[in-house]
Amino acid sequence: MLYICGGGTSRCIEQSYEIFRDLFAADGGAGVQRLLQMAGTTDIHPFVQQLGEILRPFAMTSAEFSGLLVRWDMFRSTLLSFLEKYDVIIALCAQHQRAS
């Protein structure tokens, strides 16, 4: 939608999923495990266990993580430069009918 409106940020938006997935998974799921331990969770739901298996392949070295932080900073700068051009941003929401 931003591209259609002339924002020129379509490439940036296309990168958003990959960047946020990589940020979340950079430690291979260790952060999720740490949060569960901090919360005292001992009975982990199978979905959360599966999440750890999904995140594991995206674990990265500290050098790769450093590069990811640079990509994230460039991503944020691009979006902020778009937003600075406007006083108001209006987001249209799709209307969904409720299932009966």
pLDDT beyond 90 at 9:
no
Would residue 24 count as lying in a domain?
yes
Would residue 1 count as lying in a domain?
no
Sign for the CA dihedral angle at 46, 28, 14, 90 comes to: positive
Count up the domains in the chain and report the number. Answer: 1
Tokens of 38: 């901090």
pLDDT beyond 70 at 1:
no
Would residue 29 count as lying in a domain?
yes
Would residue 46 count as lying in a domain?
yes
Closest alpha carbon to 23 in 50, 54, 60, 52: 60
Would residue 89 count as lying in a domain?
no
Parent domain of 77: 10-83
Query: Using an 8 Å Cβ cutoff, are 82 and 9 in contact?
Result: yes
Segment 34-62 shows an average pLDDT of 89
Would residue 99 count as lying in a domain?
no
Lowest mean pLDDT: which of 4-8, 13-17, 79-83? 4-8
Lowest mean pLDDT: which of 8-22, 36-50, 51-65? 8-22
Q: How far apart are the first and last CA of the chain?
A: 31
